[in-house]
Amino acid sequence: MTSSVLMQAIISGILVGGVYALIGVGLTIIFGVMRVINFAHGDLMMVGMYLTYFLFTQLGIDPFVSVIITIPTMFIFGGIIQKLFINRIIGSLPQNQILLTIGLGLIMSNSAMLAFTSDYKILTTSYSSSSFNIMGISISQPLALSFLITAVITLLLYWFFMKTDTGQAIRATAQDREAAQLMGINVKRMSIIAFGLGASLAGTAGALISPTYYIFPQVGSAFTLKAFVITVLGGMGSIVGATLGGIIIGVVESVGAVTISSDWKDVLVFSIFLLVLLIKPAGLMGKSST
């Protein structure tokens, strides 16, 4: 394997990892604020993929432009889910959270199957297979656009959490829910906003990955698992850690596929995941409880 092939695999992995990071950040925000383990996260991404698909096929809206619609739509959808269902199990036993979110995920995936059948759908644009060369390295145009949009969204998210009153209130709620409530912060409202943000990030990741991935009702299950690996690898509750974890997973998958086999890429991902947890149980950017 030549160095140019390896470099191309690394760059592709970073570009895909950026979208993975968006999924992980969404899950991290939900867990950080509400301490809820959301096993329906991948299915929220699936909803975003179908929304993008129909915006493109029915209205002719480009997948990357459709994020303007996907973000607020998924935010409202996530807020409704939080208000009606998730809010009822905040602070309850972890198994109750797991069962509820798994149930919500099953409802979403089976509803999609009833409405759209289990057939794979492919979103094909004029640039789906396009690429450009930089110093002899071929880079996928859809992946590059996805990474660019992801970077912009991540920067805006960072600004929101650091510079706005609502963002700081969410951070305070994540650090200590009871103390934030005593300080006059409406923690129930922050929880709705946090879950809405998590859902919108998952849906946006679905929109960005749609031009390069098959769309089907059960696609969410694989990405739910990936989101948990990314979140735990980076450190539960750490947005920077989730971003780093997503890029690491993307690079490992891409390099593993070209150096060994695409069949082994998941084995490599979980091997590195376990190795990191053995060395640093709190994750790369997580804080130890001791």
Domain residue extents for the chain: 3-279
More confident residue, 264 or 216: 216
3-class DSSP state for residue 132?
A: strand
Checking if the pLDDT of 55 tops 90, the result is yes
pLDDT score of 77 more than 90: yes
Collect all residues with Cβ–Cβ distance below 8 Å to 182 and sequence separation of at least 6: none
Query: Does an H or E element contain 43, and which?
Result: helix 41-59
CATH of domain 3-279: 1.10.3470
Distance, in Å, from the CA atom of 215 to the CA atom of 263, rounded to the nearest integer, reads 21
* Mean pLDDT of all residues belonging to the chain: 90
Q: How confident is the model at residue 32 (pLDDT cuts 50, 70, 90)?
A: confident
Give the pLDDT confidence score for residue 68 in this predicted structure. 96
**Could you tell me the pTM of the whole model?**
0.92
Q: Which residues of 200-210 are buried (b: 16+ CB within 10 A; e: fewer)?
A: bbbbbbbbbbb
User: How large is the average pLDDT for residues 252-263?
Assistant: 86
According to the model, what pLDDT value does residue 290 have? 42
Tokens 């959808």 belong to residue: 77
